[in-house]
Amino acid sequence: MSELIGMLDASKTSADLIREYALDHYIHYGFLPSDVEVNGHVFDYETYNYLLDLFFPEFHREALKGRMKKLREGKNS
């Protein structure tokens, strides 16, 4: 059982880092990266999106809101 908890904690930590990178990438460029490297591991698009959906179900809504905010700020400048 403790091994499972350790694996979930490690996955959650990786998911936190993936979320941070993918969110920043989407807000700045308007699209998600094809892959994400975290702690020496490369996660392809399908895999990191699975982790995002698992740990952060509202990620895509949050990313879209952040992108729209950035575009509005640029338009008003």
Rounded to two decimals, what is the model's pTM?
0.82
Q: Over 50: is that where the pLDDT of 4 sits?
A: no
Q: Between the CA atoms of 41, 45, 50 and 56, what dihedral angle is there, to the nearest 10 degrees?
A: 90
Q: Over 80: is that where the pLDDT of 63 sits?
A: yes
Report the C-alpha gap between 65 and 71 in whole angstroms.
Answer: 10
Give the least confident one: 6-15, 49-58, 61-70: 6-15
21 is written with which tokens? 């990178």
**Cα dist. 19→2, 24, 45, 51 in Å?**
25, 8, 12, 9
Burial 26-55 (b: 16+ CB within 10 A, else e): bbeeeebbeebebeeeebeeeebbebbeeb
Render pLDDT for 10-53 as a digit per residue (tens, 0 to 9): 777 889 999 999 999 999 999 999 999 998 889 999 999 999 99
